[in-house]
Amino acid sequence: SSVSLQILFYVNGAYYIFYFLATLAMIVYKSQVFSYPDSFLAPDLALLFIMAILEALRLYLGSKGNLTEEEAPLGLSLVLTVGSALLCVYFLAWQTYVLQADVILGAILLFTYGLESVLEIAAIAAFVS
């Protein structure tokens, strides 16, 4: 089992909680300050919650796969990472209002995903062989 991957999962979990709360707070701020009609607010909030569920699942599967040294959960986690990355890009560029803070937080998260994907591929390669 890869120690660095495990550490990365742990850090990712903590950072994601911060990211989720910050994005939620900023959506609330945007809805008060800017004109944010309900038809735009609902999809944004829905996607944020979907991303949270996806993230929790992904981290659990990845951590389990890493610790039990099985490829299947790690592979699934890798697939889910792609999904999470897409959602992160949505919140980075395609949201209704993208604030500078959104860009900064999203960039950090995307960088973390990239690092995780590389380490997961390395771990899968190590476990297969």
Residues in contact with another protein by CB under 8 A are 26, 29, 34-37, 40, 93-104
Both structure tokens of 58: 């992904």
Task: Closer to another protein by CB, 61 or 88: give it.
Answer: 88
Taking each helix axis from N to C terminus, what angle separates 100-128 and 38-68, rounded to the nearest 10 degrees? Answer: 30
Task: Closer to another protein by CB, 46 or 93: give it.
Answer: 93
Tell me the closest approach of the beta carbon of residue 84 to another protein, in angstroms: 21
Q: Which residues of 7-40 are buried (b: 16+ CB within 10 A; e: fewer)?
A: ebbeebeeebeebeeebeebbeebbeeeebeeee
Task: Closer to another protein by CB, 21 or 99: give it.
Answer: 99
How far is it, in rounded angstroms, from Cα 117 to Cα 123? 10
Burial of 100 (0-12, 13-18, 19+ CB in 10 A): exposed
Task: Closer to another protein by CB, 96 or 117: give it.
Answer: 96
Tell me the closest approach of the beta carbon of residue 14 to another protein, in angstroms: 21
Tell me the closest approach of the beta carbon of residue 49 to another protein, in angstroms: 20
Tell me the closest approach of the beta carbon of residue 35 to another protein, in angstroms: 6
Phi and psi at residue 79, in whole multiples of 5°? -60, -45
